[in-house]
Chain A
Amino acid sequence: MASGYILNRGALTLGIHCQRVCRSVTVTQVREKKRWMRAYTYLMAKKLKLEGPPPPKPRSQHPNWDYHAEVQAFSTRLHENFSLQLLKTAFINPCYLQAEQARRQGLGVDSELTALDLKNNIKLSAKGADFTKSFLIDWCRASFPSLPSDGVQSIVGHLSSSAVVTNVARNLGIEDLTMSEVFPVPDDVLHSTFMAVIGALLESSGAERTGFFLRDFLVTQLIGKDLFDMWTVVNPMGLLMKELSKRNIVLPEPRLIRSAGASTVLPLYFVALYSDKKLLAQGPGETIVAAEEEAARVALRKLYGYTENRRPFDFSPQQQHEQPLIQSVSSS
């Protein structure tokens, strides 16, 4: 045993200590300066430099991991009553099932004895994605009644885009629980897992709770976002004309109201849009065309009710909020 250990150690140091291994086979332990250590650390450092750091391992392969407890804690953390069976199904991706099946076949295990009795999350994911889309469209229609369907589509597209959803999922700890073939979990897998979690919530708690979940975790990502960051409008002036003619308002007349530093590197123009001698909006720009476009955007924001100083969205918790109100009314 001891000689095997020394042999192993000798092999690691690339045979530098071959002689010593041969000589000290009988000695079980050497109490002296560990001269092999220098070569060994040098070799390990060289290996690290050549190969790079080892690939990241999923949290489930690190010590201290209890999957059931983690899933239960996930459910309580979000203050939701998930059915744990559904939630566990929601984390199982088809790519994981395929990889696991292939791994078991590769190991030569009898496929009937150790059949994978797991369902994948495709159905839940489709259900969750459908519900998310319909809920977000309803929410946008309710919050911005005058926003056209193009704008609603682009806001919904932004909120359910891969970047936003994966960011939310990573910060809710879904990545740890996701069963995926590769690690780090790819964005599309994480996206479908998040949708499957929503589908599981929809099946276990109903549409209303799921709506609140989406409002609290997805719609909050809209805070601080500008409308035209999400919605690319190439010709805002044309859109403004269309909107105004739809509402029977006189078409806007752009006028240069202020300008400064026209011959410098930092010129500034202010263009205002007047409709029937009433100021619609004004906007700054480095050229007159840019200023006019900016003014049109400001006017559109006002029309759609998406100005920066609008009333903030209502994110107040619903049930807990109502009860104290009733109590205070009855006590007073």
Chain B
Amino acid sequence: MTSRATQSRFLQSVLQNGVGRYVCQLKRISIIFSKKAQSSLGIRDFIEEGVVDYAKKNPATVVYVSPKSCRIPKIVAEYLNGNVREEIVTSKTSQQVSELLTKLTNQSGLDVIRIRKPFHTDSPSIQGQWHPFTNRPPSIGPIRPQSADI
């Protein structure tokens, strides 16, 4: 797959976040797991050990813990710009789940696709758009088509 075929975007932020004040973009997180299934073992451990600490540390995020019979436990993260990400946490340990949650908290919620450059500016040129007189001293005279003898 070439780089042109994959989706890409520029480096950006939601609502100029961080210019004025930083707003945590993760608004809501739902942990969906089973009380019995083997695959939910790690996330059950995490709910016993770490989820209260996580909720206390991130008061800006609403944490929902919903047990229901399912084979595939997952974490559904909803962001301020309306994007929803589902992360499947089948047979992950408590430590791994905690790391995943930290990652989800720090993300902006924009699509996780290839970023064209690690920097971006809205006005790319400092000296302005190129025109035929850029870097041309005014003493040279008007621009003419090249004559044949030169």
Interface residues of A (CB under 8 A from B): 63-64, 66, 69-70, 72-73, 76-79, 167-168, 170-173, 176, 212, 215-217, 219-221, 223-224, 257-261, 268, 270, 284, 308, 315, 317
The answer for the CA separation of A171 and B23 in the assembled complex, in Å, is 11
Whether A268 contacts B19 in the complex (CB less than 8 A), given A64-B30, A73-B27, comes out as no
A220–B142 contact, CB under 8 A? no
Interface residues of B (CB under 8 A from A): 14-16, 19-21, 23-24, 27-28, 30, 59-62, 64, 66, 80-82, 122-123, 131-133, 138, 142-143
B64–A220 contact, CB under 8 A? no
Query: Chain A: which residue is nearest B81 at the CB level?
Result: A171
Query: Chain A: which residue is nearest B63 at the CB level?
Result: A69
A270–B133 contact, CB under 8 A? yes
Contact of A216 among B20, B27, B142 (CB under 8 A): B20
A73–B14 contact, CB under 8 A? no
B66–A64 contact, CB under 8 A? yes
Closest CB-CB distance, A322 to chain B, in whole Å? 15
The answer for the CA separation of A216 and B20 in the assembled complex, in Å, is 4
Further 15 A-B residue pairs, CB within 8 A, beyond A76-B60, A216-B21? A66-B62, A73-B28, A172-B15, A172-B23, A173-B27, A215-B20, A221-B15, A221-B16, A224-B123, A258-B133, A258-B138, A259-B142, A261-B143, A270-B133, A317-B21
Residues in B with CB closer than 8 Å to A261 are 132, 143
Residues in A with CB closer than 8 Å to B23 are 77-79, 172
B20–A268 contact, CB under 8 A? no
A260–B143 contact, CB under 8 A? yes
The answer for the CA separation of A45 and B54 in the assembled complex, in Å, is 42
Residues in A with CB closer than 8 Å to B60 are 73, 76-77
Number of A-B contacts (CB under 8 A): 80
The answer for the CA separation of A70 and B30 in the assembled complex, in Å, is 13
Residues in B with CB closer than 8 Å to A260 are 132-133, 142-143
The answer for the CA separation of A248 and B146 in the assembled complex, in Å, is 47
Whether A308 contacts B123 in the complex (CB less than 8 A), given A79-B21, A173-B27, A220-B15, comes out as yes
Residues in B with CB closer than 8 Å to A173 are 27, 80
Query: Chain A: which residue is nearest B31 at the CB level?
Result: A64
Residues in A with CB closer than 8 Å to B20 are 212, 215-217, 219-220, 315, 317
B27–A258 contact, CB under 8 A? no
Residues in A with CB closer than 8 Å to B28 are 64, 70, 73
7 pairs from A and B in contact (CB 8 Å cutoff): A73-B27, A168-B15, A173-B80, A215-B20, A261-B132, A315-B19, A317-B21
A-B pairs with lowest CB-CB distance, top 6: A216-B20, A77-B60, A64-B64, A220-B16, A260-B143, A76-B59
Query: Chain B: which residue is nearest A222 at the CB level?
Result: B16
The answer for the CA separation of A14 and B89 in the assembled complex, in Å, is 41
The answer for the CA separation of A71 and B66 in the assembled complex, in Å, is 20
A220–B19 contact, CB under 8 A? yes
Query: Chain A: which residue is nearest B82 at the CB level?
Result: A170
Query: Chain A: which residue is nearest B61 at the CB level?
Result: A73
Considering residues B30, B132, B138, which has the most beta carbons from chain A within 10 angstroms of its beta carbon? Answer: B132
